[in-house]
Amino acid sequence: MFELPEFVTLSRQFNETLQGKTVLKGTLGNSPHKFVWYNRSHEEFERLIEGKTVGNATARGKWLFVPLEPGYVLLLGECGGKVLFHPPGAKLPKKYHLYITFDDSSFLTATTQMWGAMELYEEGAEQDRQYVKDMRITPIEPEFTFSYFDTLIDDLATGKKRSAKALLTQDQLIPGLGNAIAQDILYHARLSPNHPIDDLDLEQRRALYDAIVHTVAAVIEQGGRYDEFDLYGNRGGYVRLMDKNAVGRPCTGCGGVVEKIQYLGGACYYCPACQG
Ligand SMILES: [Zn+2]
């Protein structure tokens, strides 16, 4: 599934390649399944986006906002899979959940893995969508300061017990993070996934904050993770330190053996020797 760095990469590439193009025709999927979230009928979608121009795309959390001017915003979010640009003459993928052709005969397809939103809003209304509205501060915004993070942990510590992995992956407490990037963040912070956040001391909070900011920046810098594809069908350049390939291998930090555990709805890869 895409996480914040993949959405940021897509927004940059949309602006390089798609901004300014005019929509000839937009079609929803030819292979819909119940976990693709649409908010328009096929006819409505086609009618509303015909002749619109692609504006400046932006990413926030796990959402990509693509203005279709004038008046509309295409919202892709909480998805994985492939969002692909195709030059004129390219072959249309067999299955897709979104297919938009442009006046220069190039086209865009999106095919989500598992679930995801492909919705069209009147400009402004997208901000009222569930999960977009009231989204907390994301790690690439200037407001994501250590003081903000420190207060967030204080606030959460008074509620239900949460672990470091829960902080990074549940309830969009830090929007845009997910199970993949969380592994490397916890490794850099030297925290085990199940470390309770209510006993983090100042130094550990600082280490976790730094790990979040630096890891997100590193994945964005390298165009997303290696296990995801960008707008051009290329893999991202960021190879995770802690994933299934690391299991049984020596930890790059201390030489201990990397282990896999199942925790909070997914696999965690960590070094029990240096992640306490
Ligand atoms: Zn280690």
Q: pLDDT tens digits, residue range 125-142?
A: 999 999 999 999 999 999
pTM assigned to the model:
0.95
For the CA atoms of 233, 239, 240, 246, what is the dihedral angle to 10 degrees?
A: 120
Residue partners of 216: CB distance under 8 A and separation at least 6: 4, 5, 139, 140, 176, 177, 181
Residue partners of 250: CB distance under 8 A and separation at least 6: 256, 257, 258
Distance 156 CA to ligand 1 centre (A): 28
Distance 270 CA to ligand 1 centre (A): 8
Distance 166 CA to ligand 1 centre (A): 21
Number of Cβ within 10 Å of residue 78's Cβ equals 18
Distance CA 209, CA 203 (A): 10
Distance 48 CA to ligand 1 centre (A): 54
Burial of 31 (0-12, 13-18, 19+ CB in 10 A): exposed
Distance 264 CA to ligand 1 centre (A): 22
Which residue, 42, 189, 233, 230, is CA-closest to 120? Answer: 42
pLDDT of residue 32: 63
| Range 141-164 average pLDDT | 93
Distance 265 CA to ligand 1 centre (A): 23
Distance 169 CA to ligand 1 centre (A): 22
Distance 274 CA to ligand 1 centre (A): 4
Distance 184 CA to ligand 1 centre (A): 12
Distance 9 CA to ligand 1 centre (A): 30
Helix, strand or coil, per DSSP, at residue 204? helix
Percentage of residues in the chain with pLDDT exceeding 70? 100
Confidence of residue 242 (pLDDT cuts 50, 70, 90): very high
Helix, strand or coil, per DSSP, at residue 206? helix
Distance 233 CA to ligand 1 centre (A): 34
pLDDT of residue 247: 93
Distance CA 183, CA 212 (A): 11
| Range 258-265 average pLDDT | 92
pLDDT of residue 154: 94
Distance 276 CA to ligand 1 centre (A): 10
β-pair partners for 269? 260
| Range 89-110 average pLDDT | 95
Q: What is the 3-state secondary structure (H, E, C) of 117-174?
A: EEEEEECCHHHHCCCCCCCCCCCCCCCCCHHHHHHHHHHHHCCCCCEHHHHHHCCCCC
Is 241 in contact with 235 (CB distance < 8 Å)?
no
